[in-house]
């Protein structure tokens, strides 16, 4: 897959599309909570990007014929995929409620697994910002959904390349709480194997901190320094958390697809190097 040019719509105009897709993705998160073994880091509720499907895809659900649930952001369609990737059934969400989506997913999994997985979906329980979809509102077609899908596709491409070239980088996952897609790089672990020093690299589709899609590189433990190193693009975000940020508007302004990809790669290289150094020099919290 190659980079898709971003900016068909201004990044600041994708907020409503992002909210629609975020709520739709809760179906996949709930399926993970309901049907998969629970992981301590809650990764059983996370999703990955499937380039062939152009979709966010949940973990494999066991049964007579294993399957996965997927969400195509571009047209807000839920799909149930067989193990070979074939589309076994699907549901267009426009005009439907979240309850409709949950009921369809539960029934589709039951039918596909021949009753081996028969349960109403249970949401993991984290809170999302208030929205009409939480109380019976209906999904709507949104002009920004196609562009939003391009942001996720490009992010998955860039992050997969980054993770494959970076020692200690974890899988590229989309997390249903904040709806960001990211990889966590573990720089140092404790004797029990738990991460002590990390750098997170990812794309947020926008949130209360930055209203448009943005790339971030954060680190832990978080530095107490305020003389932060220079970056190749972007800037340091310090309002509530500290991390390097490349806002969507700056990335789009780079120009064509190749220029956008080049700008992102330069930002990630400088931001990761700086964040790695900050994480390694930051004092660890005293252990109990």
131 and 28 in one domain? yes
pLDDT value of position 63:
83
Mean pLDDT of 97-107: 98
- What's the rounded Cα separation, in Å, for the pair 99 and 4? 33
Residue 83 belongs to some domain of the structure? yes
Residue 149 belongs to some domain of the structure? no
For 10-43, how does the pLDDT look when each residue is reduced to its tens digit (9 = 90+)? Answer: 999 999 999 999 999 999 999 999 999 999 999 9
Residue 150 belongs to some domain of the structure? no
Asked if the peptide bond before residue 221 counts as cis, ω within 30 degrees of 0, the response is yes
pLDDT value of position 64:
81
For 135-155, how does the pLDDT look when each residue is reduced to its tens digit (9 = 90+)? Answer: 999 999 999 999 999 999 999
The length of the chain is 288
On whether the CB atoms of residues 167 and 199 are closer than 8 A, the answer is no
185 and 111 in one domain? no
Residue 265 belongs to some domain of the structure? yes
Residue 153 belongs to some domain of the structure? no
pLDDT value of position 1:
78
Range of the domain at 208: 180-281
Mean pLDDT of 162-188: 98
Strands 214-220 and 55-57: unpaired
104 and 46 in one domain? yes
Torsions phi, psi for 229 (to 5 deg): -70, 160
Residue 229 belongs to some domain of the structure? yes
CA 172 to chain centre: 8
Bridge partners (DSSP) of residue 201 are 183, 217
pLDDT value of position 286:
62
Confidence of residue 285 (pLDDT cuts 50, 70, 90): confident
Residue 2 belongs to some domain of the structure? no
- What's the rounded Cα separation, in Å, for the pair 164 and 167? 8
pLDDT value of position 264:
98
CA proximity to 128, closest of 116, 137, 141: 137
187 and 129 in one domain? no
Residue 287 pLDDT > 80: no
| Number of structural domains the chain divides into | 2
276 and 200 in one domain? yes
Output the CA torsion sign for 82, 84, 85, 87. Answer: negative
For 81-90, how does the pLDDT look when each residue is reduced to its tens digit (9 = 90+)? Answer: 999 999 999 9
Pick from 113, 135, 157: which residue ends a domain?
135
- What's the rounded Cα separation, in Å, for the pair 250 and 256? 13
The span from the first CA to the last CA of the chain, in angstroms, equals 47
Sort 152 into a burial class: Cβ within 10 Å, 0-12 / 13-18 / 19+.
buried
206 and 98 in one domain? no
Tokens of 135: 């109380």
Pick from 75, 102, 135: which residue ends a domain?
135
Confidence of residue 207 (pLDDT cuts 50, 70, 90): very high
On whether the CB atoms of residues 192 and 205 are closer than 8 A, the answer is no
198 and 102 in one domain? no
185 and 115 in one domain? no
Residue 158 pLDDT > 90: yes
Mean pLDDT of 171-183: 98
pLDDT value of position 170:
98
pLDDT value of position 131:
94
104 and 196 in one domain? no
Mean pLDDT of 52-79: 96
Using H for helix, E for strand and C for coil, what is the string for the chain? CCCCCCCCCCHHHCHHHHHHHHHHHHHHHHHHHHHCCCCCCCHHHCEEEECCCCEEECCCECCCCCEEEEEECCCCEEEEEECCCCEEEEEECCCCEHHHHHHHHHHHHHHHCCCCCCCCCCCCCCCCCCCHHHHCCECCCCCCHHHHHHHHHHHHHHHHHHHHCCCCECCCEECCCCCCEEEEEEEEECCCCCEEEEEEEEEECCCCCCCCCEEEEEEECCCCCCCCCCCCCCEEECCCCCEEEEEHHHHHCCCCHHHHHHHHHHHHHHHHHHHHHHHHHCCCCCCC
């Amino acid at each position: 897959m190659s980079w898709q040019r971003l900016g068909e719509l201004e990044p600041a105009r994708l907020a409503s599309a992002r909210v629609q897709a975020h709520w739709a993705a809760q179906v996949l998160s709930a399926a993970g909570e309901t049907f998969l073994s629970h992981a301590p880091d809650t990764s059983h509720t996370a999703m990955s990007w499937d380039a062939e499907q152009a979709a966010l895809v949940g973990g494999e659900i066991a049964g007579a014929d294993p399957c996965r649930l997927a969400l195509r952001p571009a047209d807000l369609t839920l799909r149930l995929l067989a193990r070979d990737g074939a589309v076994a059934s699907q549901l267009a969400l426009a005009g439907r409620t979240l309850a409709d989506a949950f009921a369809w997913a539960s029934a589709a999994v039951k039918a596909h697994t021949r009753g081996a997985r028969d349960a109403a979906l249970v949401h993991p329980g984290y809170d999302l910002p208030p929205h009409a979809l939480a109380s019976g509102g209906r999904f709507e077609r949104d002009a920004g959904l196609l562009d939003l899908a391009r942001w996720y596709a490009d992010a998955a491409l860039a992050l997969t390349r980054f993770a494959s070239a970076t020692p200690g980088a974890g899988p590229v996952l989309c997390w249903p709480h904040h709806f960001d897609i990211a990889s966590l790089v573990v720089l140092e672990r404790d004797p029990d194997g738990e991460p002590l020093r990390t750098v997170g690299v990812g794309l947020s589709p926008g949130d209360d901190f930055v209203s448009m899609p943005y790339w971030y590189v954060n680190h832990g433990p978080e530095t107490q320094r305020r003389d932060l190193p220079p970056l190749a693009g972007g800037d340091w975000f310090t309002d509530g958390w500290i991390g390097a940020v490349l806002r969507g508007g700056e990335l789009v302004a780079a120009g064509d697809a190749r220029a956008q990809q080049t700008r992102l790669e330069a930002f990630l290289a400088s931001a990761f190097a700086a964040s790695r150094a900050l994480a390694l020099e930051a004092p660890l919290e005293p252990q109990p």
